[in-house]
Structures are given as structure tokens and as C-alpha cells.
Amino acid sequence: MPKEELRQTPRTKLVRNHRRAEYDREVVNDIIDATPMCYMSYIIDGRPYLTPTFQWRDGDTIYWHGSSASRFLRQIVGKEVCMVVTLFDGLVLARSAFHHSANYRSVMLFGEATQISDEDKDEHLKKFVDNLIPGRWETLRPMTDKEVKATTVFSMPIDEGSAKIRTGPPVDDDEDYELPIWAGVLPMKQVLEAPEPDPKNLAGLEVPEHVRNFELGKHD
């Protein structure tokens, strides 16, 4: 019988220096690797901002990128940011409104945004594409210097933050289990549909294997 489980790793316990932290890091990495989508919180002129973007992990470091012209990216150089990666896994329907909940896996990371130098950007952008859509990079027209310059890549170490996971059915008040109210979980997930070819593709081009077999999440 499934049990409700709410796990939260303690903050600032992500460095690899004792057994508990090793476990936390595995939980954190699994969530980060399950989806490329993330959200970044940062401060400009004392006001909170939020930008959805894509992240990729390489060992103990997390990366994100964007246009060098972006206000978001120009403002956060060397500044503290907060990144959240969340997968909503379901709606939890309880016998009372109060105990309704959501099943999810979520990681919150804190760190300073370090800008990657021009010389190293190429390598990281290749890793981003390889991580997101393995097999695609080598099929593409190579990046130009101008394009590399127009792209900013940031990193921060995965060493401060926490993971939070909720799974399982609702947890109701004891006496409410006797009520004839349907309770349970509505599972939710992000899925991919059939690829839509660009109408401008050259005639006869088939959907390549790396697109046909594409799955969201890290591929190692």
C-alpha cells in the first residue's frame, strides 16, 4: 500500500562531505536531470524578478544560458540567484479542502552567477545540446564566433540548497476516512507529442533517430 511521503533535505547540506550529504546530492541530481526546465529568481534594483529558462548539469556544477543582450543575464553577473527545478507529478485530492495537496519533486539552489569566459563557452554549449538532445550537435551547422559571443553562459556550484519531494495518496484527518468521499491522486506528467517538421525542410528529409527517440531529461 503506497504511503504518503514528504521528504525534505536540509538546506546547505549539499556538499559532499558526509554520508547524509551524498544521499541528498543524489536526490538533488535526479530531480535536476529529470527536466531541463528551470526558474531563476534574482534581484534588480531591489526588486524581485523571475525568469524561466533551461539548465544543464555537469558534475557538481549547474549551467544556464541566454542572449548576451538580455537584461536578466547582464544584471546577474556575480550576483546571488536562486534556481528552482520542479516536476509536478500530480494533484492530491483529500476528503477535506485543507488536506488537498500536490505531488512533486523540487530542488531549490542558491549561489552566485559566474559568467563563463568566451574561450570555454563553446564546450559548454555543446554539452548543453548533447545533454538536451543527444546526437543532435554533430548534425548541426557549426556555431560561428559571432554566435558564441552573442550567447552568455553562467554557472554555479551545486552546494547550497535543498530538495523536497511529495509522493503518495492524501493524508486525511483520522475521522475523515469514514466519510464516503472519493480521495486519491490525479497523476500529471509532461509528455512529448509527434515531431512537427519545419515546412521549410528539404524534400525527402526523414525524422532522424535522435528526434524520434527523444525523451525529456538527462541522457547519460
In whole angstroms, how close is the CB of 18 to a second copy at the nearest point?
Answer: 25
Sorted by sequence, the CB contacts under 8 Å of residue 142 that are 6+ apart come out as none
Cell of 45: 534594483
Least distance to a second copy, CB of residue 214, Å: 6
* Residue type, position 101, single letter: S
Report the alpha-carbon distance of residue 92 to residue 181 in Å, rounded. 13
- Please say which residue, 19 or 191, places its beta carbon nearer to a second copy: 191
- Min dist CB 198 to a second copy, Å, is 4
Q: Give the burial class of 125: count Cβ atoms within 10 A of its Cβ; 0-12 exposed, 13-18 middle, 19 or more buried.
A: buried
> Closest approach of Cβ 63 to a second copy, in Å?
14
* Least gap, CB of 71 to a second copy (angstroms): 11
Cell of 105: 519533486
Of 4 and 30, which has the nearer Cβ to a second copy? 4
In angstroms, give the least distance from the CB of 174 to a second copy. Answer: 11
d(CA 218, CA 57): 9
97-to-84, 88, 93, 171 alpha-carbon distances in Å: 27, 19, 8, 12
Sheet arrangement for strand 114-115: 5-8, 161-167, 101-112, 80-93, 37-44, 47-58, 61-67, 151-157, 114-115
The SS3 call for residue 45 is coil
Indicate the residue among 22 and 120 with the shorter CB distance to a second copy: 120
* Residues in Cβ contact with 143 at an 8 Å cutoff, skipping those fewer than 6 apart: 122, 125
Nearer to a second copy, 42 or 64 (CB): 42
Smaller CB distance to a second copy: residue 23 or 98? 98
Looking at the Cβ atoms of 17 and 175, the one nearer to a second copy is 175
In the complex with a second copy, which residue's Cβ is closer, 17 or 209?
209
CB of 58 to a second copy, least distance (A): 17
